[in-house]
Amino acid sequence: MGVVSFRVIRECYETIEQINYSIDLAIQERRNLIFVSTFLHYPRVQWLILTHPDIKLVKVKHYGALGVPRPREAFTDIVLTILFPLIDLLGGRRWFLRAVNRRRSSGKH
């Protein structure tokens, strides 16, 4: 099957930044990329992968996994499955990212 290596990346906190960082790093290192996300997070991760501006420069696979997220994250994932693509299509990705990072830097998660 070939050589497989993996890396845990803890450089970013928000999913948008994590996806961007991972794809950019894979392009830089000329590596393939595999994402694994819970079934509730899967749609948003898939959206972020498909809408990355350089996605054609890297081979990406995305797998869903069963898992039980914390109730607050489960609710957020369900809401953002519908809401985030709308925000993104209306050009609000940067606004969303700033709002989330501002909230998290104030100590709220």
Residue 94 corresponds to which tokens in the numbers above? Answer: 């940067």
Instruction: Tell me if 11 sits within 8 A of 19, measured CB to CB.
Output: no
Which range has the worst mean pLDDT, 20-24, 55-59, 90-94, 99-103?
Answer: 99-103
With helix as H, strand as E and coil as C, how does the chain read?
A: CCCCCCCCCCCCCCHHHHHHHHHHHHHHHCCCEEEEEECCCHHHHHHHHHCCCCHHHCCEEEEEECCCCCHHHHHHHHHHHHHHHHHHHCCCHHHHHHHHHHHHHCCCC
pLDDT, mean of residues 86-100? 94
pLDDT, mean of residues 6-21? 86
Domain layout of the chain by residue ranges: 15-101
What's the CA gap between 31 and 34, in Å, rounded?
Answer: 10
Q: pLDDT tens across 69-81, in order? A: 788 888 888 999 9
Does pLDDT of 95 surpass 90? yes
